[in-house]
Structure 1
Amino acid sequence: MSRVIEYIRSDLHRYEGGSSASALLRHLALNWCFRYSFWLRLCGAESGLVRLIAKVMHRHLSIKYGIHIPSSTRIGYGLYIGHAVGLVVNHTARIGNNCNLSQFTTIGSNHEHAAVIGDNVYIGPGACIVEDVVIGSNATIGAGSVVISDVEEGATAAGNPARVVSMNAPGRYVANRWPALMPKSVNPQHVPI
């Protein structure tokens, strides 16, 4: 349970810049995005009863908000969901620490090998990340981009298909970063837990 609590604290830190009990209650009551990630994280609890309740709440909120992130998806510390609507992530995706997922984003795969996303990555609204691409740490994916090939570390990619448009200001939209507890970058063999 301590690992699940650490994930919840890291997610709260991304919204609040801290992780106090009052912030937790405020965000659970008022912040749909944090509420979704809270129940998503609790699906990994060791206690059978807590996990059961979490899975019921996660399913309810998935339907209510139109978000589909399976509880089996490997996501690092500090998940930030920009808006609680229209987000689809394939269960085989691997998402690093301090990542921002925006509304109407799809991280998908038809072949059970979705993307590997590094640490401190911002994914803009309406982005579509297709199949087994690797997005390096500190990358920015522009709004409406269709990513069909790897994006190198620190790059800003945009367009359809996405192309690198800049190497300036890596990770610029990722605020309130949780101190990463895993390696700085993700490669196809590295699996965030």
Structure 2
Amino acid sequence: MACKYGLEIAPATSIGEGLYLGHAFGITVNPNAVIGRNCNMHKGVTFGRENRGKRKGAPVLGDCVWLGVNSTIVGGVRLGNDVLVAPNTYVNCDVPSHSIVIGHPCKIISRDGATDEYINNRV
């Protein structure tokens, strides 16, 4: 795994165009994770792999996903397109497109345009 400037993101990680790292420090991404286009990650974000059980695997993010400070995504879960994960949220379940996720356990709120005016560097 590559580690530079407080970032642990392996060169082999699948990352779509338009990735934005806001206040990039302490971000850890499992090398098997998949990150869609126009995703934003902020300080302290973690993508963890689950090694056993029903959520075995690494996270897969759709397009236009905004991850707040210290949010954690664990296991073989899928986040749809246009998903906003609030700061300090722990996600270990699938999240449908057009949603806001808050808290632990994560509460999913359906919202069209969940990431409107949040996504930086859109391509």
TM-score by length of 2: 0.89
Match of 2:119 in 1: 174
Alignment partner for residue 85 of structure 2, among 126, 131, 141?
Answer: 141
Aligned length: 118
Higher mean displacement: 159-168 or 100-109: 159-168
Higher mean displacement: 71-80 or 110-119: 110-119
Mapping of residues 30-179 of structure 1, within 5 Å: 59=2, 62-63=3-4, 65-111=5-51, 113-172=57-116, 173-178=118-123
Higher mean displacement: 161-170 or 151-160: 161-170
Structure 1, unmatched stretches of 5+, are 1-57, 179-193
How far is the alpha carbon of 1:113 from its aligned partner? 1.5
| Structure number, greater radius of gyration | 1
Percent identity between the aligned chains?
A: 36
Stretches of 4+ moved more than 2 A in 1?
none
Larger relative contact order (CA 8 Å, sep ≥ 6): 2
Structure 2, unmatched stretches of 5+, are none
TM-score by length of 1: 0.58
Say what the alpha-carbon RMSD is for the aligned residues.
Answer: 1.7
